[in-house]
Amino acid sequence: MSADDNTRAFDEGIVTDFSSRMSYGSYLALDELLALQRPVSEPEHHDELLFIIQHQTSELWLKLLLHELRSARASLQADDIGTALKRIARVKHIQETLTQQWSVLATLTPTEYSEFRGFLANSSGFQSHQYRAVEFILGNKNERMLSVFDSDPAARAVLASLLAEPSLYDEFLRYLARLGFGVPDSVLSRDVTKAYVMHPELVPVFREIYESATENWRVYEACEELVDLEDNFQFWRFRHLRTVQRTIGMKSGTGGSSGAGFLERALSLTFFPELFAVRTEIGT
Ligand code: HEM
Ligand SMILES: N[C@@H](CC(=O)c1ccccc1NC=O)C(=O)O
């Protein structure tokens, strides 16, 4: 039991026979998971594995993000703000992880990327249905995006459903209306298949909430959580843009867009416009 040889002795109870027991690898389907990194470059480029894993891990986190956002939305629908806040707290941590992980990809130099970029053909993150689903559930709807998924009916169907459903913010505003806040009808009866746009007549509702934070603590807290969530989303977009600029400069994208300019325009989009507009009104 001594550590003189700098090895750790096995505790007596440690299980080693997995011939008829569930193991770590079988529970997590690791054989399948670890067989899914399949570089396409020929000869295989050393850095393509980084590129694939960066994307696959992002997609896994996006899967969880969407799961949590759907649950947050359902909780608001059921007037359960406590659970919704719990879900959003987790969403914010996932976003932070997604944003931080850009630093790994930033070690890919423009020369290295150019050596296998041609093998990517027209594939692009623009075709990520999970990313688009997150944008849709947050209210950045765009029916035109569906056409990208015409050859993937399952993904297209999920996006078409999300397009027709109220967003997280739509549900939050309906919840506020049920609590008795004067959310205007123009907001409650909006066409939820369209991108959410600013309703100036909603700003006074938030002003009331912010000016009476102690009496409306939960909804005030929820407002601030949504502001954090939008900030975090923009931080991810910004890191993506900066990574693109340092990797491909002003080249157009493999997905057919102008590249950096196209991504830069996403930085002027907003999910919760009135929650930012109210800041101008506070204290005046
Ligand atoms: C060297 C790394 C990367 C480069 C050069 C790059 C480049 C681009 C470009 C140029 C676009 C615009 C669409 C196009 O024409 O292709 C785009 C879109 C996109 N990329 Fe990347 N990307 C990189 C890494 C990533 C990673 C790691 C992710 C993580 C999932 C990602 C996700 C996306 C998404 C979701 C879009 C759509 C954004 C939108 O619609 O606003 N990209 N990327
Ligand atoms: N759009 C990128 C290619 C790219 O980054 C990419 C290619 C395949 C799968 C995901 C990608 N990531 C983000 O767009 C480019 O133009 O270089």
Q: For residue 93, say whether it is annotated as part of any ligand binding site.
A: no
Q: Return the structure tokens found at 147.
A: 């056409």
Whether residue 255 has its Cβ less than 6 Å from ligand 2: yes
Residue 88 annotated in ligand binding: no
Question: Under a CB-based contact definition with an 8 Å cutoff, are residues 134 and 103 in contact?
Answer: no
- Taking a C-beta distance cutoff of 8 angstroms, is the pair 196, 167 a contact? yes
Query: With a cut of 0.90, is the ipTM above it?
Result: yes
What topology is assigned to 44-118+126-281 in CATH? Methane Monooxygenase Hydroxylase; Chain G, domain 1 (1.20.58)
Ligand number with the minimum distance to the CA of 102: 1
Query: Is residue 106 classed as helix, strand or coil in its secondary structure?
Result: coil
Nearest to 46, CA basis, from 145, 114, 142, 112: 112
Distance of CA 253 to the CA centre of its chain: 21
Number of H helices, E strands in the chain: 14, 0
The pLDDT tens digits of the residues spanning 114-164 come to 999 999 999 999 999 999 999 999 999 999 999 999 999 999 999 999 999
- Give the span between the Cα atoms of 279 and 73, in whole angstroms: 25
Annotated binding residue 169: no
Prediction pTM value: 0.97
Q: Looking at residue 106, what is its pLDDT?
A: 96
172 within 8 A of 181, measured Cβ to Cβ: no
Domain spans of the chain? 44-118+126-281
3-class DSSP state of 123: coil
Distances (CA, A) of 246 to 85, 139, 187, 239: 37, 30, 41, 11
For residues 228 and 243, is the Cβ–Cβ distance under 8 A? no
The pLDDT of residue 284: 76
**Would you state the pLDDT for residue 4?**
85
Predicted pLDDT of residue 3: 59
Q: Report, as ranges of residue numbers, the positions in the chain whose pLDDT lies below 70.
A: 1-3
253 lines ligand 2 (CB under 6 A): yes
279 touches 204 (CB < 8 A): no
